[in-house]
Amino acid sequence: MPKWTEGSAHFKLIAGEGYGKTSPVPVKSELFMIEVKTEDSFQLNTKENLKGEIGICIVEGGIEACGEPIEKGNMLVSKVEDVCNVLVKPQ
């Protein structure tokens, strides 16, 4: 599976396509599943790197989207073209 680092964030593309990479996991439709881990706050750029609908499941830490805090145990769902800046915050 493709893995890469941007700043303090570590990415793993589990399925589908995104960020110019393709996972070897076979899929039946256009989709992506990406794991993002960081120890420092990180600005996530989805608009230029993903297409379609996006769901962000917060397992640890939290995010801030459009100025609103979203804590672990919640999910943010948006179309990529509508998504605002997403700040990933570690635990």
Lowest mean per-residue pLDDT among 23-27, 46-50, 71-75, 78-82: 78-82
Q: What pLDDT sits at residue 53?
A: 78
Chain segment 10-58, per-residue pLDDT in tens: 999 999 898 999 999 988 888 888 899 999 999 988 777 887 778 888 9
3-state secondary structure of 76: strand
